[in-house]
Chains A and B, each alone.
Chain A
Amino acid sequence: MIGVLFDGFAYGMLLFLLSVGLSVTLGMMNFVNLAHCAFAMIGGYVTVTLMNQWHWPFLATLPLAFLGPALVSVVFERALYRRLYGASDLDQVLLTIGLAFVSVAVAAYLYGTIQQPVRMPDYLRGSVTALGLTFGAYRLFLIIMALGITLLLAGALEYTRFGAQVRAAVDNQRMARGLGINVDAAFAITFALGSGLAGLGGALAIEIVGLDPSFAFTYLIYVLIVVSVGGLGSIGGSFVAASLIGISDVAGKYYVPGLGAFLIYLVMIALLMWRPAGLFGRR
């Protein structure tokens, strides 16, 4: 029971890393970015390439798995996304689905459609025993990492000048502009940060869920569920929603394997019908 909760929570933390950036950028610009998981996939492939081709240690690849997608995303943001901020949902969905398709094809071209093998360092393999319970070392590492990032994010958003600007822009974009906040710049930085976190999530996800070109679509669905259930622009909401969904997914697969992902979709639809703006959303 505790084991299932633990695994579910670790999985939820992975989903949180993957989705928190999308939540904040959606809340700020109302931009439906379905290519978000393509950026996460870039992070995954950065780690795989560095580890398998250049034999970097796993931990050393993580900063680059963050920076790579962040840089790529900011290029796309300035070149393509920026033109569609005022456009309809449909146009945004089409553009970003198009980019996701391209990313899947490029990944398949460069790396093939097979799962990428990655060998974790020894200290992240095996398990840790504490209080008479056994925890997977990698999952523990994942949880600590995610909790650290959450604290960092929440702190930055709460106590820094930049965080205040972002919060203002999420609350009321036009008012924030009126007060002289450079919303476009704040958005570009947030967008890069969010994509970078997704890339980090993608790199961390390899050990748990594997990595192949279909990643951009498979996890997009989970990420969208987390974002819409948690509520747009809310880090706390994403955290709670990701934990809930991670735990219920792992528990569902463990106790009622026949249902598969059925439960998650049902929970999402029910929650959205009850609160269309998500659990912690205000709009």
Chain B
Amino acid sequence: MDASAISSPQAYMRLQARWRPVELAFWLATLLPFWLTPDYLVLASQIAITALFALSLDLILGYAGIVSLGHAAFFGLGAYTAGLIAKYGWGEPVTGLIAATLVAGIVGYAASLIVSRFRHLALIMITLGMGLLLAEAANSASWLTGGADGLQGVKIWPVFNVFSFDLYGYVAYSYALIVLFLVFLLARRIINSPFGLSLRGIRENAVRVPALGAPSRAHLRKIYTIAAAIAGIAGALLAQTTETVSLEALGFQRSADVLVILILGGAGRLYGGLIGAIIFMVARDQFSGNTPQFWYFWIGALLVAVVMFLPNGILGGFAKLASRWSKVF
């Protein structure tokens, strides 16, 4: 980027927020599954949900530098909220989504009061502990959650009373994709605001940012709450499109998976989680089959390779290649 062309901070922010052709192409490409792979729309809806979840982790990990090993807690909260509301008589999906967002957001705010005070190992342990605590609570409260059998009897009404969820996933994918796009717009707006800029400052140096007049902890609380609410939306989407919730929605495995997805795609880039989710979910669908434990061998090896050779994920690698390319020519 040519630094002399930027005349003011406002111009810099506007330049950052400009839509690029690649982005438009990406979002148009998300419509392709309807025509190219209509048999895989259920998978596509799962990918959209996972991408949304990864996006929410990106907001706190990639932009604010909060390493969380328990982010599935909010995903599970959203899933159980939406599932329980539907089970006990109100199967309207959009209001269910809003309720799940609120519950996850409120719990996220409460958690943020704790989380924003820690860094390093204590932070990792606190997030891990809170995730495990919630998973254990859901396991013990089997009268409410169905325990290890999962939440049964979830009935979701048609979206807007018109589009009922079908077996092929047409409605599920459309619904998940629309929600993903709307939340993405919101996340994009947040990241390209002065608030988003100060978050990146906190990530780089949490002590120095308050000296510049931005309250570190208050900012961390805000973004953590927002990210928790978004994770809740993703969980609610999963509960509504699959009409069941299992304990696995809250588990450590899901927290670890989403971390892998984000790192694979590239943390600290809005599209990192999205690209990571596509690659991860498609690969898992193709390769895991009936031996899930060997799938994790490749995930583990991949993580080691990414940390050692591709510190900024796949998108980071592309960005590096692109900048070299432009230097050569």
Contact = CB atoms under 8 A, between A and B. Distances in A.
Q: Do they bind each other? A: yes
Interface of A: 26, 30, 32, 80, 83-84, 89-91, 93-95, 97-106, 108-109, 113, 213, 217, 221, 224-225, 228, 232, 258-262, 265-266, 268-269, 272-273, 276-277
Given A93-B67, A105-B300, A261-B136, A26 B129 contact: no
A2 B118 CA distance: 38
B140 A258 contact: yes
What does DSSP make chain A's interface, helix, strand, loop or mixed?
helix
20 contacts: A91-B307, A98-B299, A98-B301, A98-B302, A101-B296, A104-B300, A105-B294, A105-B295, A109-B293, A109-B294, A113-B293, A221-B128, A221-B132, A224-B128, A232-B121, A258-B140, A259-B140, A269-B126, A269-B130, A276-B117
B114 A94 contact: no
B252 interface: yes
Contact of B303 (A83, A101, A259): A101
Most buried by B among A89, A213, A259: A89
Contacts of A97: 256, 259, 300, 303
Contacts of B303: 94-95, 97-98, 101
In the A-B complex, the 5 residue pairs with the closest CB atoms? A98-B303, A101-B300, A105-B297, A102-B300, A108-B293
Interface of B: 61, 67, 69, 114, 117-118, 120-122, 124-126, 128-130, 132-133, 136-137, 139-140, 252, 256, 259, 263, 267, 293-297, 299-304, 306-308, 311
A26 B114 CA distance: 23
A114 to B, nearest CB: 12
Contacts of B67: 89-90, 93
Contacts of A261: 132, 136
A105 B293 CA distance: 5
Nearest to B133: A265
Given A98-B303, A258-B140, A260-B140, A213 B293 contact: yes
A224 B299 contact: no
A109 to B, nearest CB: 7
Contacts of B297: 101-102, 105-106, 109
A13 B248 CA distance: 31
Contacts of B133: 262, 265-266, 269
B69 to A, nearest CB: 7
Contacts of B267: 90
A247 B196 CA distance: 46
Nearest to B296: A101
B126 A102 contact: no
Contacts of B304: 80, 95, 98-99, 102
Contacts of A94: 259, 263, 303, 306-307
A217 B139 CA distance: 18
A265 to B, nearest CB: 4
Contacts of B120: 30, 89
A32 B61 CA distance: 17
A10 to B, nearest CB: 23
B308 A262 contact: no
Contacts of A232: 121
A98 B263 CA distance: 12
Nearest to A32: B121
A109 B292 CA distance: 11
